[in-house]
Structure 1
């Protein structure tokens, strides 16, 4: 079958599978003191994620519009429930314990922001834009209360990216952006907890907090640096073996890859992420209409932001937040919902090509 006649982008699931394999090797290295428990659970989530990717492609186009608001209501409900009955870890209520893993409603919130905002902004009216800001702000506020400030900020940034790429006048977007910037000092002094303010200060001056809030980053930097160009070798990382970097199977998994596979290992991950980003951008180019364009823009923005924040955090380039590395970090909710988002990209790809073919148009 010629490449131009394919109804799906076959490279997307291939790249995702490669990243998952890298993640399983890194997770085993970071958690092998516990046997294969973490790897077994992650394999299950990876299988569920890939299945969800292909099942999402089977959705009808009109069903996706209807599901946007259904998912939004379910998301609000789950975010409220997790605040009341969620599992407490590190002083935060962010997860439901499902025995096979933890479900994090904030991952569903990212998906809802993309679908609902794209649905509303197709009209390009100021009223719908402010309504989308209200729907997004409600989700971001509930996530921040957990507390999960990093994800709440990501959700807000995601909304701005989608709005910026819509037909909403730039003047209005800039006014809202300036308003948010003006609120930052108030948020810092009155909205943040002490440990959150300390994380920001330690990011700006890590040497002063290397034994406290900057400890993870300091150890991560040393660990990545010790890997050099080619790494120490699989299962031979001293910092990984001795557990010098906390949460190195989730938030700081880049440190495991950097120590054992060196700059080359991290570089391979970056190349795979870049290729996946390019495939999503291709879906934007071939989108059927503005709705699909905005959905794909949102998915690409969320993906790029999360990769940048996670890798930047491990290398001291961004403040520490509880954001996993897509398809590589240990975590079920992140894997599942990123796969669902890529399933939506595949659906957009099929619908876009089908629409152009039916109209007798030329593919770009």
Structure 2
């Protein structure tokens, strides 16, 4: 396993526990137990070889499509979800299929490009991206669908699809989306209200107790070192899901936020190292190609979502409901992101196993 990747996961989960301890102390045991389960799953599944993930890809993707298709019919929402349905309930288990859908898209596209290459395969890959994104789009969940679409584009690029082909695909899809986008916004007016409300915040003398305002207040109170989980309590805290970074900043200050950013950088650096080492393997086998795609896709799945969440907390984007990976409260996101880390672990080990024996990064052929 990659030590720096394991350190990043433990750092993020630990910071999440600090944030939950400040915002919702009664949830700390529940969140901690789920974090331990997610970490154990990462360690367990990281022992699989990339070929197992590549073979599983079509089946797992099909399963996530089925779950996403069920959401409009039997899905449930929350009091804060403006009437949208994004969760499925199976007995005591509640989860968000769109989280699994991201991982399903990563596994499917990696499997597809590893088996069939990238030549003249743009239409098939496009359909996979559009179908998966479309099912999330109609929930409606605009933030997650945009992230998922971006994930698909990154996977195309990582697989080796030409930039000119990707640009042509984006242009054609953009033209087709114009009339659909207008109807979508008419049916869901709260989306435009959220954007226009966010744009007008700068003209408002007092932000009040909106989520972004609360997040900024909590971050300011944290200062450089933070006030700790037992710091002064306030009647209202920023959300411990979407705005968990505010609670992290409150408890551990600027130092904790810097550690958060550093942990995500470790994930980026590890995935890029996988791609770099894979380029040195000769001959380039389908499994090595697939491992490289898996690592880049899993990395973007995590840090792309983290980027959006942190931009929301900073006030750059309006509130989207996207959790902070491995930090926010909620098992669906934590579990899926932990599985994505297992994929990167697996890809790293496989690539190092196939490096030339005289390479300093190579693993012995008998190594796990």
Among candidates 104, 110, 116, match of residue 102 of structure 2: 110
TM-score normalised by structure 2 residue count: 0.86
Alpha carbons of structure 1 residues 141 and 208: separation in structure 2 relative to 1, 3 Å: farther
For residues 154 and 350 of structure 2, what CA distance do their matches in structure 1 show?
A: 23
Give matches, 1:197-236, under 5 Å: 197-207=192-202, 215-236=210-231
The 8 Å contact of residues 82 and 95 in structure 1, kept in 2 or not, is answered as yes
For residues 225 and 91 of structure 2, what CA distance do their matches in structure 1 show?
A: 38
**Which shows bigger deviation, 280-289 or 84-93?**
280-289
The 8 Å contact of residues 54 and 290 in structure 2, kept in 1 or not, is answered as no
For residues 259 and 49 of structure 2, what CA distance do their matches in structure 1 show?
A: 35
For residues 232 and 14 of structure 1, what CA distance do their matches in structure 2 show?
A: 24
What RMSD, in angstroms, separates the aligned Cα atoms of the two structures?
A: 2.5
Among candidates 355, 359, 362, match of residue 359 of structure 2: 362
Q: For residue 149 of structure 1, what is the aligned residue in structure 2? A: 142
1:177 aligned to 2:153? no
For residues 163 and 202 of structure 2, what CA distance do their matches in structure 1 show?
A: 40
Give matches, 1:75-154, under 5 Å: 75-89=64-78, 90=81, 91-97=83-89, 102-122=94-114, 123-125=116-118, 127-154=120-147
For residues 9 and 62 of structure 2, what CA distance do their matches in structure 1 show?
A: 29
- The aligned length equals 347
The 8 Å contact of residues 50 and 291 in structure 2, kept in 1 or not, is answered as no
Give matches, 1:28-47, under 5 Å: 28-32=21-25, 35=26, 38-47=27-36
Give matches, 1:301-320, under 5 Å: 301-320=300-319
For residues 40 and 284 of structure 1, what CA distance do their matches in structure 2 show?
A: 38
The 8 Å contact of residues 161 and 298 in structure 1, kept in 2 or not, is answered as yes
Structure 1 segments unaligned to the other structure (5+ residues): 1-7
